[in-house]
């Protein structure tokens, strides 16, 4: 598949642009422990030994996160990286996310700031994101409709109420697409992550690609399931299944294929000398 070069996505972001992937670093700041949904494939752990998406060795306070970025800039002599918040929970469900982004905006306004979210609170907190200068965000959307989503999400908590299975799925899918469209209208660069789960959502990935394209999403990243949580006994998709699904979905929306499903505390600074 050819390198992705898509309008309305940041050319300097390694998780949005194939050509930037090996030459621009990424620093994830694990300041967001709480989550407002439960995905059946998700386990949130503090762990140092395993390269598992969403895991971190320890949480950082906003001040510690700023100090980490400060040290990378001063000791490494580089600003060639993006600073992102990707967990371990959902960044938008944690006030520490916005405190951290505000500190970064003040101290390092030239470093691209981004985050990943499940989208439940995206529309609600979009104004807050704009206030702290978010340049790019990733929304994880795993289903085009509540029926399929109810097989992926156990519950969602919103405005003091806990919704389960179908009710949670109906709420979440609606809020995800409302938030996606609102973020795009606000001028934020958006990528959509979708976890490919054989036997659960594999037969609707094309429908999802169509719906994302209709909503205006410029880029989709189909990621293989990492079996864990309630889905620990499911299998990951084969490389051929993943390749074929990306190829079919690319007819509707460009595909990003170099995602490494990073930990919530990854620090990757490429040597491009």
Any idea what DSSP says for residue 186?
T
Predicted confidence (pLDDT) per residue in 137-168, tens digit: 999 999 999 999 999 999 999 999 999 999 99
Domain ranges of the chain: 18-261
The residue ranges of the chain whose pLDDT is under 50 are: 1-9, 11, 273
pTM of the model: 0.91
Query: What would the DSSP string read from start to end of 122-166?
Result: TTTTHHHHHHTT--EEEEE---SSHHHHTTTEEEEEETTEEEEHH
Q: Quick one: pLDDT at residue 49?
A: 56
Q: Quick one: pLDDT at residue 130?
A: 95
Strands (E), 180-219: 189-196
- Start-to-end CA span in the chain (Å): 27
45 by Cβ neighbours in 10 Å (0-12 / 13-18 / 19+) ranks as exposed
Domain 18-261 grouped into CATH 3.20.20.70: yes
**38 pairs with which residues across the strands?**
155
Predicted confidence (pLDDT) per residue in 232-273, tens digit: 999 999 999 999 999 999 999 999 986 767 778 888 788 754
Q: Quick one: pLDDT at residue 135?
A: 82
124 by Cβ neighbours in 10 Å (0-12 / 13-18 / 19+) ranks as middle
Please enumerate in sequence order all residues whose Cβ is within 8 A of that of 209, keeping only pairs 6 or more positions apart, or say none. Answer: 220, 248, 249, 251, 252, 253
The two structure tokens encoding residue 146? 């509540």
Q: Quick one: pLDDT at residue 47?
A: 62
Alpha helices in 42-84 (DSSP H): 62-76
Q: Quick one: pLDDT at residue 75?
A: 85
Q: Quick one: pLDDT at residue 3?
A: 38
């Amino acid at each position: 598949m050819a390198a992705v070069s898509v309008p309305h996505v940041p050319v300097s972001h390694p998780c949005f642009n194939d050509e930037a992937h090996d030459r621009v670093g990424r620093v994830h700041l694990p300041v967001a422990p709480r989550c407002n949904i439960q995905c059946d494939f998700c386990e949130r752990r503090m762990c140092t030994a395993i390269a598992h998406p969403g895991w971190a060795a320890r949480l950082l306070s906003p001040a510690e996160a700023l100090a980490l970025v400060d040290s990378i800039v001063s000791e490494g002599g580089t600003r060639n990286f993006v600073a992102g918040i990707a967990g371990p929970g959902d960044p938008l469900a944690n006030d520490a996310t916005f405190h951290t982004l505000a500190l970064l905006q003040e101290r390092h306004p030239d470093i691209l700031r981004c985050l990943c979210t499940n989208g439940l609170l995206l529309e609600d907190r979009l104004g807050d994101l704009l206030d702290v200068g978010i340049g790019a965000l990733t929304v994880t959307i795993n289903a085009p409709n509540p029926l399929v989503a109810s097989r992926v999400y156990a519950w969602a908590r919103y405005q003091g109420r806990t919704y389960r299975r179908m009710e949670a799925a109906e709420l979440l899918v609606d809020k995800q697409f409302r938030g996606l469209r609102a973020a795009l209208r606000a001028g934020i660069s958006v990528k959509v992550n979708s976890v490919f789960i054989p036997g659960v959502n594999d037969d609707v990935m094309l429908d999802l690609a169509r719906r994302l394209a209709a909503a205006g999403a410029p880029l989709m990243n189909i990621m293989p399931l990492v079996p864990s949580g309630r889905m620990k006994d499911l299998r990951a998709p084969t490389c051929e299944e993943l390749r074929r699904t990306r190829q079919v979905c690319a007819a509707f929306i460009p595909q990003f294929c170099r995602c490494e499903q990073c930990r919530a505390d990854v620090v990757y600074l490429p040597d491009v000398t």
